[in-house]
Protein backbone atom coordinates (compact mmCIF):
# COMPACT_ATOMS: atom_id res chain seq x y z
CA UNK A 1 0.00 0.00 0.00
CA UNK A 2 1.34 3.44 -0.88
CA UNK A 3 2.35 5.80 1.91
CA UNK A 4 -0.28 8.33 0.81
CA UNK A 5 -3.00 5.67 1.15
CA UNK A 6 -1.73 4.77 4.63
CA UNK A 7 -1.76 8.44 5.68
CA UNK A 8 -5.28 8.97 4.34
CA UNK A 9 -6.54 5.84 6.08
CA UNK A 10 -4.85 6.90 9.32
CA UNK A 11 -6.49 10.32 9.07
CA UNK A 12 -9.87 8.68 8.51
CA UNK A 13 -9.35 6.44 11.51
CA UNK A 14 -8.50 9.40 13.74
CA UNK A 15 -11.51 11.42 12.63
CA UNK A 16 -14.03 8.58 12.37
CA UNK A 17 -15.68 9.20 15.77
CA UNK A 18 -16.47 12.82 14.87
CA UNK A 19 -17.12 12.45 11.14
CA UNK A 20 -20.74 12.64 10.09
CA UNK A 21 -22.64 13.69 7.03
CA UNK A 22 -22.22 17.37 6.30
CA UNK A 23 -25.65 18.87 6.07
CA UNK A 24 -27.10 22.06 4.79
CA UNK A 25 -30.67 23.28 4.97
CA UNK A 26 -31.52 20.52 7.41
CA UNK A 27 -31.42 17.38 5.28
CA UNK A 28 -29.28 17.85 2.17
CA UNK A 29 -26.33 15.44 2.29
CA UNK A 30 -23.17 17.10 0.96
CA UNK A 31 -20.44 14.62 1.81
CA UNK A 32 -19.81 10.91 1.93
CA UNK A 33 -19.91 8.70 5.00
CA UNK A 34 -16.76 7.32 6.57
CA UNK A 35 -17.38 3.94 4.91
CA UNK A 36 -17.82 5.60 1.51
CA UNK A 37 -14.71 7.73 2.07
CA UNK A 38 -12.65 4.56 2.53
CA UNK A 39 -13.89 3.37 -0.88
CA UNK A 40 -13.03 6.75 -2.41
CA UNK A 41 -9.47 6.75 -1.04
CA UNK A 42 -8.85 3.26 -2.41
CA UNK A 43 -10.30 4.10 -5.84
CA UNK A 44 -8.65 5.64 -8.86
CA UNK A 45 -8.27 9.37 -9.28
CA UNK A 46 -8.90 10.59 -12.83
CA UNK A 47 -6.41 13.42 -12.41
CA UNK A 48 -3.65 11.48 -10.68
CA UNK A 49 -3.85 8.04 -12.25
CA UNK A 50 -5.70 8.22 -15.56
CA UNK A 51 -5.56 11.60 -17.34
CA UNK A 52 -2.38 12.06 -19.34
CA UNK A 53 -1.34 8.44 -18.86
CA UNK A 54 0.09 6.63 -21.86
CA UNK A 55 -1.91 3.96 -23.65
CA UNK A 56 -0.10 0.92 -24.99
CA UNK A 57 -1.09 -1.89 -27.30
CA UNK A 58 -0.48 -5.56 -26.55
CA UNK A 59 2.96 -5.28 -28.21
CA UNK A 60 3.95 -2.73 -25.53
CA UNK A 61 4.03 0.11 -28.09
CA UNK A 62 2.82 3.50 -26.92
CA UNK A 63 -0.13 4.41 -29.13
CA UNK A 64 -1.54 7.46 -27.38
CA UNK A 65 -2.50 8.95 -24.05
CA UNK A 66 -5.70 9.48 -22.09
CA UNK A 67 -6.93 13.02 -22.70
CA UNK A 68 -10.31 12.84 -20.98
CA UNK A 69 -12.91 10.48 -19.58
CA UNK A 70 -16.61 10.67 -20.40
CA UNK A 71 -19.27 10.08 -17.76
CA UNK A 72 -22.59 9.34 -19.44
CA UNK A 73 -26.02 10.40 -18.22
CA UNK A 74 -26.27 7.06 -16.43
CA UNK A 75 -23.42 8.27 -14.15
CA UNK A 76 -21.00 5.66 -15.47
CA UNK A 77 -17.53 6.17 -16.85
CA UNK A 78 -18.19 4.78 -20.29
CA UNK A 79 -15.59 6.21 -22.66
CA UNK A 80 -12.04 7.46 -22.72
CA UNK A 81 -10.81 10.15 -25.08
CA UNK A 82 -7.44 8.98 -26.40
CA UNK A 83 -5.06 11.45 -27.98
CA UNK A 84 -3.39 9.52 -30.79
CA UNK A 85 -1.52 12.61 -31.96
CA UNK A 86 -1.84 14.29 -35.28
CA UNK A 87 0.89 15.23 -37.74
CA UNK A 88 4.24 14.23 -36.17
CA UNK A 89 2.31 13.96 -32.87
CA UNK A 90 2.42 17.76 -32.57
CA UNK A 91 -1.32 18.28 -32.99
CA UNK A 92 -4.09 16.36 -31.28
CA UNK A 93 -6.18 13.65 -32.85
CA UNK A 94 -8.63 12.60 -30.18
CA UNK A 95 -10.69 9.46 -30.61
CA UNK A 96 -13.25 7.93 -28.27
CA UNK A 97 -12.78 4.38 -27.04
CA UNK A 98 -15.16 2.44 -24.76
CA UNK A 99 -13.48 1.87 -21.40
CA UNK A 100 -14.48 -1.80 -21.61
CA UNK A 101 -11.78 -2.24 -24.28
CA UNK A 102 -8.96 -1.23 -21.93
CA UNK A 103 -7.08 -3.65 -19.73
CA UNK A 104 -4.73 -2.81 -16.88
CA UNK A 105 -1.56 -4.88 -17.40
CA UNK A 106 1.47 -4.32 -15.16
CA UNK A 107 0.08 -0.88 -14.18
CA UNK A 108 -0.22 0.11 -17.86
CA UNK A 109 -3.41 0.92 -19.74
CA UNK A 110 -3.49 -1.49 -22.67
CA UNK A 111 -5.71 -1.35 -25.73
CA UNK A 112 -5.19 -4.81 -27.21
CA UNK A 113 -5.00 -5.07 -30.97
CA UNK A 114 -4.78 -1.31 -31.50
CA UNK A 115 -2.11 0.57 -33.41
CA UNK A 116 -1.26 4.24 -33.57
CA UNK A 117 -2.18 4.20 -37.26
CA UNK A 118 -5.59 2.66 -36.56
CA UNK A 119 -6.34 5.31 -33.94
CA UNK A 120 -5.25 8.08 -36.30
CA UNK A 121 -7.54 6.62 -38.98
CA UNK A 122 -10.53 6.63 -36.61
CA UNK A 123 -12.94 9.58 -36.75
CA UNK A 124 -11.71 12.52 -34.68
CA UNK A 125 -13.69 13.40 -31.58
CA UNK A 126 -14.66 17.02 -31.02
CA UNK A 127 -16.58 18.31 -28.03
CA UNK A 128 -20.10 19.53 -28.74
CA UNK A 129 -20.63 23.23 -28.24
CA UNK A 130 -22.67 23.98 -25.15
CA UNK A 131 -25.93 25.89 -25.77
pLDDT of 16? 40
- Determine if the pTM surpasses 0.75: no
Q: Over its length of 131 residues, how does the chain's per-residue pLDDT go in tens digits?
A: 443 343 333 333 434 444 444 444 555 666 878 888 877 787 777 777 789 999 999 999 999 999 999 988 888 888 999 999 865 556 789 999 999 999 999 989 999 999 999 999 999 999 888 77
81 close to 49: Cβ distance less than 8 angstroms: no
Sorted by where each begins, the domain ranges of the chain are 3-42, 46-121
Superfamily of domain 46-121: PRC-barrel domain (2.30.30.240)
pLDDT of 2? 45
pLDDT of 4? 39
**Residue environment code for 69-100, b if the CB has 16+ CB neighbours within 10 A, otherwise e:** eeeeeeeeeebbbbbbbeeeeeeebbbebeee
**Three-class DSSP category at 63:** strand
Amino acid sequence: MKLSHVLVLAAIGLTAPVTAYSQMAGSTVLAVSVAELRDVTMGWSATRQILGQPVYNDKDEKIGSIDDIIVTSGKAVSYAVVNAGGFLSVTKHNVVVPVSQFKLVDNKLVLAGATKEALKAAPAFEYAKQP
